[in-house]
Structure 1
């Protein structure tokens, strides 16, 4: 066999660049594809020293290879390989296989140094003698998306192919692939040009839509730089789309909405539970980590009934929801309802951009809340220390900086949750939001509890009940929140003692039956025992003192405890207690006498009255309901 060294390869840098330039000029001049591929074949023969070369392309069905351009091949050979079954890409066996088909199938260069020993390519026994070659190399043509064909170079003499020869033929294959891709693009361009007259109006419209989207993007950036806040962003989007826009948190609570006039809310809870809406929202959440896509959510399915209380809603109406995501966590949704027409794709992209900015706005708010929470916690640690604040005026000034005037009387409440609290639930933030529309409380952690300070005026009882309800909803059925309304602190030095009383009541309640709202604002001297006593000791004291009365009532009735509580509360006046109980004074006297018999205590003794008052208070705390 004749072997060609690198020095024998007739391809200098200048000749190679000339060949590439010639092919490029042919491509740019829009020569027919067959002519360009023939140039490629001719350059392979001239540069590398092959006697003949062919460029073969796969047919659309990818079943056969056909000769599209060649150099040095006889017309008879071209006709032979152009036969329908001549160059099968996937032949039924090696007797019909060829190096060209194998190079295409495997996507790699196939070299045959001597066709006489190439037993695995049975078809070469017929093809090689027809053209008179004894060696060949077949290189795949790699187009942009997939293989397009092969380039096959033939040598009359059997030979080994050196590395530079293979590199050159592979580079020429790349040029052929480039010519194919250019021809494909030119064909596509001609198709577009052919349809340009019909699509011109649509293109102008598309350009206008893109310009509109760009304007909205710039406007959005200006709003962000202007720090208009969440309300400003939502108002701007509602004006842009001519629709109603709503931002909710993860629990479905409305954070902000627009416009003020003609506002249409998003689907309610009942509508979201319907199968189409539930499916759309679930699919959106499953793809949340990949794309923040807007989902179409049916408000009322086509043909479905319109519910009462939904003015203007029509069957088949659609709302659009974009997820608001922070760190892969769904923290809310941006809803678009009642637009004048179904939003176009570019408008939906604008909605997605707004949702992203809303997420950034919420992130900023969360950061501010975290900072506020840390400052509140530090403030409470100084305010509630056992010996009182070291520098009271400094503490008052820090509280004022956070928006709280602690020089006025404040109720001291404590909150505890028994059970797991979801990571997304922030108890101080929840307490602050639940207290609205009343004064915002100072809330934060201290000594294992959540402390809530509320102005004593107006009466904070309703705000405390709202706080407990909101926290019960947020933590779910697996956890039990307990809220204790403690004494009112009238001066900065009173807060520590008021906290200890509330903490004592909390410990007593949690040790007995956690949950609910316990009010110990008006305890008087009993507060001292709550402040210093342990839960077990307090329960034993109350149970031991009241057990005979409790057992008697359970067996015979008589409302003894209720009578004792009213009598003590009315200043130990039998007449006043009788009026409150709507009974005869003698009945009150009889019941009090029975209590003295059962307890062995004289109710005329002031100390006994204090003990009974404390026992009833402990019993109320243990048995209190929200």
Structure 2
């Protein structure tokens, strides 16, 4: 019976072609709705497939962890690991090698999917080929096409064995026990293809299990040799076995957090449970990411030491520090307060730092992509382009930004700092306040909803600069997205004026600078018009609408030195009329307009208005 709905196809786990056929049949009856249902059904099918893949990965990892305690035969364990790795990565072949330090080579231990006996007996000098490089350097490497990749040292007999297997793409990860590289685990394809990060992470997890299996085998051999020697040897065996099994469990739990998209808080929770203590995580600037804040003397020096050594550092008895790093980049710091940690437990802490680095790196990559999108939207607003209002609102909605509301636009000049890093810091503030931020024309620009202009400027100044006195900020209120271009120009003039006055590191808006903006800014006709409108606009608008002659009354009052009678005589009106008009001016310009600084701005704006008229 032919399926009549997409739900039936999902239930039957039908192939994509069946969805296309059903869409064609439904199009005549449902029109465009059929295409929408078709797209939605394919998305659901893809999501179900991804969940099945993740379940298969976790199941294989859990089965492998169970093997470590249920199987005592090393070859059986390693064979199960390479076989499951091949199945989950859909690889044409997987193989595991062990290092022979005396010979300076790495030899094949277990293979799955090999075609030729020569390849199963291959021995590679350390540093030769991709396998030899992974076994020597202790770092993952991969290539989309090994046969033409000149990054690796090629040998004729190795290339001949590779050609016999028709190998093209290779991914290799190291086997590490107590910081020592003992071999490598590799997955290959007989076609040219890339390796996504998820496959690298998955193969790394299998390599960790293989390393645990090898370590278990070594410990079991030691136990058999020493079982009759002394009870102390048995106690040591139990202790080390518990450490290894605890490390395996911790690694499984950390891997589970990573595969399920968990964050830093989940990693801290896992480590706290495994190590039996309190775990705090900071970012590279020692801002709290997870846990309770700790005031620990000497933390900076311990972080530097951990970065240099690549290992955890015991800062004080029961207090340990590990860094989450990617290459030479410091992404975060893990601080653990617990009892004394054995070497195996410290390796678990270091593995937790590696997983934390992966999570932070993924989050940073996503954040940078989001910042680029948010920055592009703000740059479009600053340019004042003719934007489709519906599209503008949709772009802002997707970014969680409120650009149509009255808000504050701030422009910051950051002296002696990385502009892009400063923009990233401003981006975090923008996300917190449902706004936008970008680096634009050598400045950092921030647009957020609200009406506290100076408060926004101070927040931007504190967030952007490690030394806030090197950050100079101009702020201006904007009525919405339409006022962004003019607000940007006004805020830039505030910055230029502050710098010209030698007031580096301060925050100001136009009213607090007043006349100085005209004298020290690059003022033209538009700037003068803006100044008159900003200072005297409400009064002029009132006169234009009602013919109230408030501007003339102001001019007469200033000319009379503030005398009501003299101003009334000049205007040929009663002094009470002058007083009433001045009260109206106060309601329009706000309290304090008669103060000396404001009065000077008002007199200058009146003078410019008269000259312009």
TM-score normalised by length of structure 2: 0.47
Higher-helix-fraction structure? 2
The structure showing larger relative contact order (alpha-carbon pairs under 8 Å, at least 6 residues apart) is 1
